[in-house]
Amino acid sequence: MFQGNNGSNTANTGDKSAFVTAVLKNDGQTTYALKGGDSQSGGLTTWWNGALPTRPGYRPMHQEGGIILGTGGDNSNWNRGTFFEGVMVAGLPSGTTENAVQANIVSVGYSGETNVPNGPQGRITGPGGKCADVAGDDTAVNGAAVRLWDCQNYAEDQYWTQQSAGSLSTIGRCLDITGNETTNGTLVELWDCNGGANQVWKQQSNGSLLNPRSGRCLDSPNASTANGTRLEIWDCNGTSAQTFTLH
């Protein structure tokens, strides 16, 4: 995509595949071309082939070529980052050369998920198929409410890792029983992982998550499935209100 003093090319709709090949060639004097395609199959489509922008510095070109191999984003929990693999060729490549590069890329067989956080993480799904979610737009602060919410691929705070000691962690903190209490109705929250017994959760055969210290299970009050429902602990009863599956 080029956005400059000549405006944008609205006819270029880009490529919506999970893995994308993008090709730029430029003779540095009068013309440049953009091509793209699915890195998993097929060939390249020409998105633009025409005059260089009239903006100073683009005709003739005085910049040297370069390839960006990765971007890190803004360092937030929403940041996904992007990884690029690059190819540079000498001179102005022919269509035959570009097609050969695309065929080589397709032959690699890129695959896998590109829209979920990386690592050994899984969701905790509960009543109504909703996800255990941390309030506050992926910000990891002590005391943040843990609640039910619609499952979202890009919500980093809906992806949990089960640690060897039995704790469940997301965005750097653990699922915790507030105040180290053991009574029915005590809310759960996010807190610094500390190895405490109030942060241990054991998956049961009936789908519930048991905290051994309190002898109680993770629970959605009144089996609510509404977004924003605060989760609590309650006497284990095997009902749908306590069906929380880590997967």
Average of per-residue pLDDT across 16-36: 85
pLDDT at 66 over 70: no
pLDDT digits (tens, 9 = 90+) for 201-244: 999 999 999 999 999 999 999 999 999 999 999 999 999 999 99
The ranges assigned to domains in the chain are 20-108, 124-246
Average pLDDT for the chain: 86
**DSSP symbol at 137:** T
pLDDT band at 51; cut points 50, 70, 90? confident
- CA 58 – CA 60 distance, rounded (Å): 5
Rg (CA), the chain: 26
Give per-residue burial for 127-141: e unless 16+ CB within 10 Å, then b.
bbebbbbbbeebebe
CATH ID of 124-246, from 2.80.10.50, 3.30.300.100, 3.40.50.300, 3.10.310.10: 2.80.10.50
What is the reported pTM?
Answer: 0.62
- CA 102 – CA 44 distance, rounded (Å): 7
Which residue type does 18 have?
A
pLDDT digits (tens, 9 = 90+) for 123-173: 999 999 999 999 986 677 999 999 999 998 878 899 999 998 999 999 889
